[in-house]
Structure 1
Amino acid sequence: MRLRDKVAVVTGASGAIGQAICVRLAGEGALVAATDVDQERAAQVLAAVEAGQGKGYALGLDVTSTASVQCAMQEVLKRSGRIDILVNNAGGSAGLRQELTDFKDAREEVWQWVLNLNLAGTMRCTQAVLAGMIEQKAGRIINIASIAAEVGIKQRSDYAAAKAGIISFSKTLAMEVGAYGITVNCISPGLIARNVTAKTTDQELKSNGTYLGRCGRPAEIAAAVAYFASEEAGYITGANLTVDGGRVLGPKASQ
């Protein structure tokens, strides 16, 4: 087990990717704090972790609230004594508010909401754990970005900007904390099969340029997270790993 005796915090645990990350890290031996704004759903994730013989606990955590973030991280420290791994997975687009729109019709309130959830949420959680990682001279910070940061996505300019900000933030932070034995890396998923994309058609896959001819699986994102969290990735920092079936290579030629 690559992560035996490590303590991992995962935000946004109740989504398909978040749950897969929690289950995978626990399967690698980590004690997982599955956190989510919806604590009941986080508890369901914990049940999945325990069904796989993993260990952990569920906590409520709203990444848009500094007080909530600090309270949750303090609870992890109280229960487990330290935080070795932080996975900033919480996020989402204006689609969560049914407010997807072209930029010409965008509302500043929605932009601020998306930036607060994605970019500022990542900042809050990272800042809350950083002092402890610096003190222990070790840590893994893994931020879930998106290929939207590189290729864009219609009607989600706010989301693409937020995810691009996460990548730039991660690179800069990696420069600042490397001397303390802390690595900071990003993972940029492409089209992943989960509730919102489960009915994606073959034609939609082709139009999205997925060269492998399928959606990605949450477990494939979780595998990348587990790698970055492990000692095997100890000499990697400031990286952004794209897991997208080749989408960023550009439009797929018609067959």
Structure 2
Amino acid sequence: MITDMKKVCVITGGGSGMGFETARQMGKDYYIIICGRNEKKLEGAVHELKAEGIEAEAFPCDVSDYQSVEKLAAYAKEKGKVAAVIHAAGMSPHMGDAKSIMEANALGTIYMNNAFFKVMGEGSCIIDVSSMSAYLTPKLVMPVGLYKYSIINPELFIKKIMKRIGFFPKSVQAGVAYGISKNFVIWFAKQDAARFGKKGARVLSVSPGNFETPMGELEKEEADAYTKHCAIKRFGRVSEIASLFAYCASESAGYLTGVDILCDGGLVASGVNPLGKK
């Protein structure tokens, strides 16, 4: 049973990496529901959290399936006040094809915001996790004019974006889809601030750079080439990004909304381009 004083925090992608570390940190003040598609991974993560005295449970969810996300939101509401949502689930270019990446990253963000808008109220906060790739991918690539369709018809939005991605060589489509999807996350969180604000809730995005996570390991060879351009010449620690999430979701950041926070060790500030050149 959850005490009346306990607030609920939902974390997608909470089975490992920055999502799991965020669950560890936020578990001191919230009842944690971690979500993902890998039930075995979720169960192992919950076991670790409970061993640290954290109230937590797992809820299998595919963020690219709206019915799955709606079930998650309804379940979270049953557990108490949904005070924080950290939407950290996503796919990198090494994890799937362009369509899968767009569905997980872009469609997943639309679905999470739309479903949780219904169950979140005064003082709550949703954080959509983007990536520094949103800043590194050339702006000419970004089909910003199509983003508006995400509000009217999410499925049509994906169809139009995929048609645009289809103009690129197949060898780079996954990378292009990733950059576009993460740029879209920033746009969507910003435009959603007014909607959430009417309910006294906040929405913002955070764009991590290279961090020591399982996903980061998949991209390590390419990411290592960028480290020399960072002001802080190392990968970020998951405890550092988790602390940022925890602060942004807290009442201490109650006036913070409609903005993206870039946490990349100073890489984008260096002026490096996607080819690793100044």
Q: What's 2:125 paired with?
A: 140
> What is the CA-CA distance between 1:206 and the residue it aligns to?
5.4
User: Structure 1: how far apart are the matches of 2:214 and 2:118?
Assistant: 36
Q: What's 2:66 paired with?
A: 66
Structure 2: runs of 5 or more not aligned: 139-170
Secondary structure at 1:212 match in 2? coil
Q: What's 1:83 paired with?
A: 82
Q: CA RMSD in A?
A: 2.4
Matched, 1:235 2:245: no
1:36-185 to 2 correspondences below 5 Å: 36-78=36-78, 80-97=79-96, 110-133=97-120, 136-152=121-137, 155=172, 156-185=175-204
Match of 1:238, as an amino acid?
Answer: G
User: Structure 2: how far apart are the matches of 1:188 and 1:181?
Assistant: 24
Match of 1:65, as an amino acid?
Answer: D
Structure 1 stretches of 4+ with a deviation exceeding 3 A read 196-201, 205-208, 251-254
Does the aligned pair in 2 maintain the 1:114–1:159 contact within 8 Å? yes
User: Structure 1: how far apart are the matches of 2:125 and 2:56?
Assistant: 18
C-alpha change, 1:224 and 1:22, in structure 2 (3 Å) is same
In the comparison of the two structures, how many residue pairs are matched? 234
Q: What's 1:210 paired with?
A: 230
Does the aligned pair in 1 maintain the 2:22–2:242 contact within 8 Å? yes
Match of 2:7, as an amino acid?
Answer: K
Secondary structure at 1:96 match in 2? coil
> What is the CA-CA distance between 1:160 and the residue it aligns to?
0.8
User: Structure 1: how far apart are the matches of 2:225 and 2:27?
Assistant: 32
C-alpha change, 1:229 and 1:207, in structure 2 (3 Å) is closer
Q: Deviations over 1:121-154 (max 9, x none)?
A: 0111121111222xx4332010110000011299
> What is the CA-CA distance between 1:72 and the residue it aligns to?
2.2
Q: Deviations over 1:205-241 (max 9, x none)?
A: 5555222111001111110110011111001101211
Secondary structure at 1:13 match in 2? coil
Secondary structure at 2:82 match in 1? coil
Structure 1: runs of 5 or more not aligned: 98-109
C-alpha change, 1:207 and 1:24, in structure 2 (3 Å) is closer
Does the aligned pair in 2 maintain the 1:86–1:126 contact within 8 Å? no
Secondary structure at 2:95 match in 1? helix
C-alpha change, 1:235 and 1:196, in structure 2 (3 Å) is closer
Match of 1:14, as an amino acid?
Answer: G
Match of 2:12, as an amino acid?
Answer: T
User: Structure 1: how far apart are the matches of 2:227 and 2:244?
Assistant: 26
Q: Deviations over 1:21-63 (max 9, x none)?
A: 1111103x11010111112211111122222221111110111
1:23-38 to 2 correspondences below 5 Å: 23-27=24-28, 29-38=29-38
C-alpha change, 1:83 and 1:212, in structure 2 (3 Å) is same
- Identity over the aligned pairs, expressed in percent? 24
For normalisation by structure 2, the TM-score amounts to 0.77
C-alpha change, 1:213 and 1:140, in structure 2 (3 Å) is same
> What is the CA-CA distance between 1:14 and the residue it aligns to?
1.6
